[in-house]
């Protein structure tokens, strides 16, 4: 697949295949798809991509994407400012917001500590989290990180950093998913759900 | 996932998810990926997409994509002009070129007859194929179409259209793939490979 008949196609395939999860073959498929569609679709897509990168701003408080200034959540008067949920990226915020169960604010780290991927604590929005907590309004930090090696590492690091403050530190519950079947749950999850059992009060 | 925190993100997700095989979740993932990368990557991608749609031209003879004028294959003096391989789209040309086994020219239909998808013969480059054949230089048309219902329909239609000309019409061989195992070949392929057996001469 090296002999593209057109330099323009080659360039488009090259650029599209830089996206994660899209190889040269898929990129070519997408490029040919765009060629078959009305011109306006490609131009709108290109415009949206330029806007995305040149006009998007980040909330100065929680580092969530915003159209400018504080994001909608930080700006709202209905949220509980004493509660901060720390998450890896914006998708987690959207996922938690969709549950409708959380009324506090967020703090988007912008990644997760991963020595393998070369991401160290200094690459993440950890200093600004410490600042938010040290301002004194916060009473609880909930660590909403994925139950993976990297998530646990990040949680451990944050716990160490935050323990000097007089706040509660908690993590989202890990255990058997609702609707899940005990028999088919993997042993690590099941083990954790026994260790982390909840006592009826 | 309806409450995007930013209008710009929402628009980007909207446009990206119009691509085939990319849903809203993947689109959001791609958008967030671009946000983490250097600005130049997004701008280059956008530029390549605009160029793709505004500057790409099609070869006036075989309808393959070209940078302008005849495509490299039609333009070459080393190819056998009496042989035309009819294919569905550009990807098939690239696949056949990669084999290095074909020295003739191509004819890209730009699709395949598919009543279900609303694609009729008039949507394809069939008239221009007839014109190329009627010019008299062509001695054989090879139908390089996929062995699917639509491919067979298209092949049947083309055969009917081409039989008034004094040319050979052939189709690429269908049978058990090289390295394939008889036992694990599906019965339709195996059946066809028996019916279409090749006699040793």
Instruction: Flag if A35 and B49 touch (Cβ within 8 Å).
Output: no
CA distance A165 to B115: 68
Q: What percent of chain B has pLDDT over 90?
A: 46
3-state secondary structure of B190: helix
Residue A113: CB atoms within 10 Å: 23
pLDDT at A201: 63
- Could you give the ipTM of this predicted complex? 0.71
Q: What is the pLDDT of residues B68-110, one digit of tens each?
A: 888 889 988 999 999 999 999 888 888 888 888 889 999 999 9
A39-78 pLDDT, tens digit per residue, is: 899 999 999 999 988 888 889 999 998 888 888 899 889 9
Calculate mean pLDDT across residues A95-110: 89
- The closest alpha carbon to B81, from B110, B107, B108, B109, belongs to B107
Q: Place domain B7-55 in its CATH homologous superfamily.
A: RecR Domain 1 (1.10.8.420)
Chain B residues close to A45, C-beta within 8 Å:
15-16, 18-19, 46, 49
Burial call A41-79: b when 16+ CB within 10 Å, e when fewer: bbbbbbbbbbbbbeebebbebbbbbbbeeebbbbeeeeb
Residue intervals in chain A for CATH 3.40.1360.10: 79-174
The predicted pLDDT at position A90 comes to 86
d(CA B40, CA A16): 13
Which B-chain residues 125-184 have CB contacts (< 8 A) with chain A? none
- pLDDT at residue B3 in the model: 65
Of A3, A65, A110, the CB nearest to B5: A65
Whether the predicted pLDDT of B2 surpasses 80: no
Region(s) of chain B under CATH 3.40.1360.10: 78-172
Could you say which residues from 50 to 109 on chain B have a Cβ atom under 8 Å away from some Cβ of chain A? 50-56, 64-67, 71-73, 89-91, 93-94, 97-98
Nearest to A174 by CA among A189, A185, A186, A187: A189
Question: Which helix (H) or strand (E) segment is B186 a member of?
Answer: none
Domain with CATH 1.10.8.420 in chain B: 7-55
pLDDT band at B1 (very low <50, low <70, confident <90, very high): very low
The CATH number of domain A79-174, selected from 3.40.50.920, 3.40.1360.10, 3.30.470.20, 3.40.50.970: 3.40.1360.10
- Chain A nearest C-alpha distance from B69 (Å): 11
Chain A contact set for B94 (CB, 8 A): 1, 3-5, 28
More confident residue, B187 or B132: B132
Q: Do residues A45 and A31 touch, judged by C-beta distance below 8 A?
A: no
CATH architecture of B78-172: 3-Layer(aba) Sandwich (3.40)
Looking at every residue in chain B, the average pLDDT score rounds to: 88
Residue B6: pLDDT band (50, 70, 90) is confident
Chain B interface disruption, residue of A12, A49, A74, A99, most B CBs within 10 A = A49
CB A73 within 8 A of CB A103: no
Question: What is the maximum alpha-carbon separation in chain B?
Answer: 71
Q: How many residue contacts between A and B have a Cβ separation below 8 Å?
A: 176
Cβ contact B42–A53 (<8 Å): yes
């Amino acid at each position: 697949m090296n002999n593209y008949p057109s330099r323009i196609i080659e360039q488009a395939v090259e650029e599209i295949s830089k996206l994660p999860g899209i190889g040269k073959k898929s990129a070519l498929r997408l490029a040919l798809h765009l060629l078959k569609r009305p011109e306006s679709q490609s131009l709108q897509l290109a415009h949206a991509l330029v806007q995305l990168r040149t006009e998007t701003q980040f909330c100065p408080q929680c580092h969530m994407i915003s159209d400018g200034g504080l994001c909608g959540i930080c700006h709202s008067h209905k949220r509980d400012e004493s509660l901060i949920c720390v998450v890896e990226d914006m998708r987690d915020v959207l996922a938690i917001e969709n549950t409708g169960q959380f009324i506090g604010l967020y703090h988007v780290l912008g990644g997760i500590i991963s020595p393998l991927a070369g991401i160290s604590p200094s690459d993440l929005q950890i200093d600004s989290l410490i600042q938010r907590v040290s301002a004194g309004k916060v009473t609880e930090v909930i660590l909403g990180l994925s139950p993976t090696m990297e998530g646990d590492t990040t949680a451990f690091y944050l716990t160490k950093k935050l323990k000097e403050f007089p706040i509660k530190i908690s993590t989202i519950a890990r255990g058997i998913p609702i609707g899940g079947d005990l028999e088919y749950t993997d042993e690590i999850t099941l083990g954790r759900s026994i260790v982390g059992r909840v006592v009826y009060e």
